[in-house]
Structure 1
C-alpha cells in the first residue's frame, strides 16, 4: 500500500471551537459516528466516491486544458471525450444521490436505521463499483499519461481498487 498516506495524528489539549464540532461525544448515546449499525458503513463508499470525484474533476480539467492540433481546439470538443465525461457524470451523480438519500433517511428518522441494512449494502455495492468505473473512464479521457508515476490519476486508480476489499459481504442480500 505504498503512497496511501495513512498516518496517525494524535492531538493533545487541542482547542476546537464549539461551532466547528460535528459531534460532541456523550457516553451511551447512539450517534452516526460510531459503529452502532450497518448505516455506519456508508462512510466507506463515501470515501471511494470522493476518490472518484477527484478523478472526475481531473479528467474534466484535463479535457478543457489539453489542446489537440487535429481538432484545432481542446480535447473537450471531441465527441468521444464528451461521451466519456457524460458517462462519468451520470455515474458520479447517481452514486452521490444514492449515498445522500440513504444518509438523509437516517438523519431524518434514526429509528428506521436498522431497516435500511439491505439498502446500505446495495448502495455500497453500486457506489464502489461506480467509483472504479469513474476512475477508469477518467483515465481513458487522459490516456496513457494517466499511468505515469507522477500522474494523480494512477494514485486515484490504486486507491479506488481498495474498495474491492472494503466491500460489503457478498451474501448480504437474503434472496
Structure 2
C-alpha cells in the first residue's frame, strides 16, 4: 500500500503543477509553489517531500542528471540538459527495507536514465555550488549538461555510443574493474 500511495501522490503533484522554469527561485517557499501551481523540478521534489514527511515517512531529496537524448521511441524528459531533482522514500515493507525513487516532475519511477549525484534533506544539502561571492547582487547560477551513454570495447576503452554526436570519450585504465 505504501508504494501505491506514494505513486498516487507523485501523480497528483504532476497533474496539479505546471513546469515553469521562470516561476521560482531556490528561495521560493513550498507554500508559494502550491499556491501558484507552478515551479521547477526542485519545487516538485520539495512539495512531495513536505507531503511525505507530514505523514511521518522517511524521504530524501535527490539531485542528479537525466539522460539528455532518450532511447528511441521514448519521450525526452523534463529536466534534461540541466541538473534535476527527485525524491527517494524509505519503504520498510520491501524485503530488507530499501529506498525507492520517484520523479514527480516527469511522473515516473527513475531508472538508468536518472543519474544520482547526491541526496540530502533538501536542496540546501546538495546544492551544486556553495560558498561566498563578493561583489554586486546580480549573480546567477546556470547549469547545463549533456548526458550521453558510453559503450565499452573489449580493450577497456570507453567510447561514445554510436548515436552520440559531439560527446567526449573517456579512456579507462586497463586491468580488473571493481
Query: Looking at both structures, which has the greater relative contact order when contacts are Cα pairs under 8 Å and sequence separation is at least 6?
Result: 1
> What TM-score do the two structures reach when normalised by structure 2?
0.24
Length-normalised TM-score, structure 1: 0.24
Higher share in strand = 2
Q: Per residue, is there more helix in 1 or in 2?
A: 1
Q: If you compute each CA radius of gyration, which structure gives the higher value, 1 or 2?
A: 1
